[in-house]
Structure 1
């Protein structure tokens, strides 16, 4: 799967070729260059002849960065920092794409494609069926949700392959593609203890496609469950930083209105449901019950759902319902 998808070549290209240029664009436009922080670790060395694939990155722990606690989720300060940084990254990649589209050619091919259908099917359909089995006798999940979940298990792979394609008219950027809290590291103020800096890691699933996918991926996996009803605040902060960054880079014409961004998020809303049903269980799994991902991809093992995951999903379902994101048939027709 790794060889077929070429994910390490993508990661190496992003870190060694695109990240430095994105950083340079932002730094040159900044009034205070010292405040401009890179968004990724530096690539020291790479050798990409399969199977001897090697990528050596700077050790962010030496710079004081550390990971957040996976099962707790991120508080508001962490989430705001993530989305402000993501907005700057998205904006700068959109500007760079306009200036040098050839640079992004390796990322135009959809990473989610028919060559990987069996592996994708094992993950998406397998995990959704696992969820169906584990909530079958739980009264907190209504039959309507279970029926839509059954439809989703049969259609998830087709939907992801189709929807993830770059579509003209969307707010297209170079997405991170795997934006959850284990793929970011934070640095904290020594005096106050508050989070003050971030680096994104693991750029293996990057794609030129809608920014909505990164937003859904992050919001469906990483904020603390007590922020579920504050996602609109986070989206508005992301949009505000986008506007400021495009203005700074003198590319205001690339900035999507907030109404367009929210409409695009709704258009891709089923993706948020898929992530909540397939990836979030791994995020919230108990430390002693983390499954073997190889066995999961072969449909030999399923994740054991934690109490926290089921409680969080129970809170998410009414929100998805209210937004219309559980109408699987509607999304399949679009």
Structure 2
């Protein structure tokens, strides 16, 4: 596989909170050996008789790239036939355990790395293999996710998630400051329609949805989350007070914060909410957790991959949609929301029909549930927008600086009141105005 640019993995739902890993051990990338790299290449290309000449590892991200996981590039030179001196190159991206102790401790609570390992080792293969087993098919519907070469949550041989390189295949990130554009959103709606439809199929033919790792809300285990959520909402109220014409909206939002007691339980209520359709969710739905391949002549997006599957959960798919609409699109793009949602629903139904699953989930039912989840999108956006849209130089390197809740709050305050761009404030204002319009507060 090709190497991955440092931008590929830029972003996670709770950007300064999530991390990959379980055990408090040294940095696992140091344990990579020739034999381990040989195993990766053998699994990737499906050939056993190879000879690895050499390999190197290097950081695939820079300080301030919005990461709490440790991302490395692994580049190896090898021969397929030891008798022939023709050298091939293999390049992979590996996600490794964080080096800071507080990050590791947090991961023991929210199990982000273990979840991603289960998704790549069990859930994604089930989406493919159950089609062969239950439907007897050779032509398989596959989800729009990267190929995973290796996923292991244990320290033996190495705890890591190692994947293909999307960048060398022509994929790149959308502009997070501009937000997803209509053509990009359309590809995403089709990708989510297919992914959620495959999730429904797996749910009908397995017990995956009963696994606690997909059922539990990992953020309930974070004691500081209540104060963090309240601080996030209150800081947005302060921003509104300083913007001419937004004083009344600031007052309404203040009343809302009091009504929902800071927002934590309200957010968790949405996370636990059921509905007419349940499936496996992406969970971390913002624009830096997806990449697009663009037509070299027209510049139009033609293919999408979604990744960072650390918060995959079993729940209402409207959460994924409202998460991405309010975290990663502009007000102008959301004017086409009805068309986007129709495309999503059409893709979902065509996918489940193709898989032999008949859903009793009309477009009208779907729109009602979307309407009921707009507030969820608002809560997520208020929490993450000031951080995910922060300038790179403002975000500490969390491989060198350990996690601290006060630091998270400080960064948000800095972006909102001192260094924050007009883009951040306009995004927040647009979303608040929408909540006033639909009567959330």
TM over 0.5: yes
**1:93 alignment partner, one of 199, 224, 238:** 199
* 8 A contact 1:221–1:279 mirrored in 2: yes
Please, which moves more after superposition, 44-53 or 195-204?
44-53
Cα–Cα, structure 1 residues 317 and 151, in superposed 2: closer, same or farther, change >3 Å?
Answer: closer
* 8 A contact 1:26–1:92 mirrored in 2: no
Residue 185 of structure 1 aligns to a residue whose secondary structure is: strand
Deviations 1:150-208 (A, max 9, x none): 533733111122221152x4321111111100001111223433211111111111111
Structure number with bigger Rg:
2
Aligned partners of 1:301 and 1:292: how far apart in 2?
15
Q: Is 2:432 aligned against 1:323?
A: no
More helix as a share of residues: 1
Q: Is 2:311 aligned against 1:205?
A: yes
* 8 A contact 1:15–1:40 mirrored in 2: no
* 8 A contact 1:8–1:48 mirrored in 2: yes
Following TM superposition, where does structure 1 have runs of at least 4 consecutive aligned residues deviating by more than 6 angstroms? Answer: 26-29
Residues matched between the structures, number: 322
Aligned partners of 1:258 and 1:117: how far apart in 2?
39
* 8 A contact 2:144–2:191 mirrored in 1: yes
* 8 A contact 2:284–2:308 mirrored in 1: yes
- Matching of residues 145-224 of structure 1 within 5 Å: 145-149=250-254, 151-152=256-257, 154-167=261-274, 169-224=275-330
* 8 A contact 2:227–2:262 mirrored in 1: no
Cα–Cα, structure 1 residues 76 and 203, in superposed 2: closer, same or farther, change >3 Å?
Answer: same
Aligned partners of 2:213 and 2:202: how far apart in 1?
14
Residue 410 of structure 2 aligns to a residue whose secondary structure is: coil
Unaligned runs of 5+ in 2: 1-105
* 8 A contact 1:221–1:275 mirrored in 2: yes
Structure 2 match to 1:47: 152
Aligned partners of 1:97 and 1:267: how far apart in 2?
24
* 8 A contact 2:273–2:315 mirrored in 1: yes
Aligned partners of 1:189 and 1:27: how far apart in 2?
33
Aligned partners of 1:177 and 1:27: how far apart in 2?
27
**1:302 alignment partner, one of 411, 416, 429:** 411
* 8 A contact 1:174–1:207 mirrored in 2: yes
Please, which moves more after superposition, 211-220 or 15-24?
15-24
- Matching of residues 24-173 of structure 1 within 5 Å: 33=139, 38-49=143-154, 53-102=159-208, 105-118=211-224, 120-149=225-254, 151-152=256-257, 154-167=261-274, 169-173=275-279
Deviations 1:264-293 (A, max 9, x none): 122223212112212122233334434678
Aligned partners of 2:370 and 2:153: how far apart in 1?
35
Q: Is 2:94 aligned against 1:11?
A: no
Aligned partners of 1:135 and 1:27: how far apart in 2?
54
Q: Is 2:130 aligned against 1:21?
A: no
* 8 A contact 2:116–2:312 mirrored in 1: yes
Cα–Cα, structure 1 residues 117 and 239, in superposed 2: closer, same or farther, change >3 Å?
Answer: farther
Cα–Cα, structure 1 residues 297 and 194, in superposed 2: closer, same or farther, change >3 Å?
Answer: farther
* 8 A contact 1:111–1:205 mirrored in 2: no
Aligned partners of 1:317 and 1:166: how far apart in 2?
23
TM-score by length of 1: 0.85
How far 1:219 moved relative to its partner? 0.4
Cα–Cα, structure 1 residues 53 and 129, in superposed 2: closer, same or farther, change >3 Å?
Answer: farther
How far 1:39 moved relative to its partner? 1.4
Aligned partners of 1:246 and 1:94: how far apart in 2?
7
Aligned partners of 2:218 and 2:257: how far apart in 1?
17
Cα–Cα, structure 1 residues 270 and 297, in superposed 2: closer, same or farther, change >3 Å?
Answer: farther
Structure 1 match to 2:93: none
Q: Is 2:351 aligned against 1:242?
A: no
Aligned partners of 1:54 and 1:266: how far apart in 2?
39
Residue 187 of structure 1 aligns to a residue whose secondary structure is: strand
* 8 A contact 1:73–1:224 mirrored in 2: yes
Residue 245 of structure 1 aligns to a residue whose secondary structure is: helix
Residue 205 of structure 1 aligns to a residue whose secondary structure is: coil
Cα–Cα, structure 1 residues 300 and 310, in superposed 2: closer, same or farther, change >3 Å?
Answer: closer
Q: Is 2:334 aligned against 1:228?
A: yes
Structure 2 match to 1:330: none
